[in-house]
Amino acid sequence: MDPSMKVLRTLPEHGYCFVCGKDNQSGMGVRWLLMEDLSISTEVTLDLAQQGPPGYAHGGASAALLDEAMGTSVWVAGKQAVAVNLQVNYLKPLPLHVPFRVNGRVEKIEGRKIFASSSISSMDGTILVNGQGIYIDAPQLTESVWEHIDTSK
């Protein structure tokens, strides 16, 4: 994240969401920030609840963070979409108990397809994990989700 970039607002959490839900005691408790370029960003520190190999995050925890960053950026773009394809590239192990940054953004929209990217980087900017996703605009599948999300915040 460019330190000179302005934060527009903190995005609402989603109840029991594994990544951003405040009601899920087993969740990660992430609070997403909407940046002025409409990307999504947050700072996260994982702990033993997300451990895979001793001292490092489980690959599924990394994938969940990337998916959530991309999915949230897609929803901010006004698309009621669901993931249909995720690609995760594990470049370096993600240590526990160390803060890191997660970013996500929409790259392009082609009809109902939304292409997004995301990354997890150390605080010095080294990319540890990155990913790409394809999301399909499917309001018929996500109608009930919007009813439970307060987007006025």
Q: Which of 47, 67, 137, 150 is catalytic?
A: 67
pLDDT of residue 153: 46
Does the active-site annotation cover 37? no
Q: Retrieve residue 127's tokens.
A: 């990319």
The pTM score is: 0.83
Give pLDDT tens digits for 57-89. Answer: 999 999 999 999 999 999 899 898 889 999 999
Judged by phi (left if over 0) then psi (alpha if -120 to 50, else beta), residue 25 lies in alpha
Does domain 7-147 fall under CATH 3.10.129.10? My reply is yes
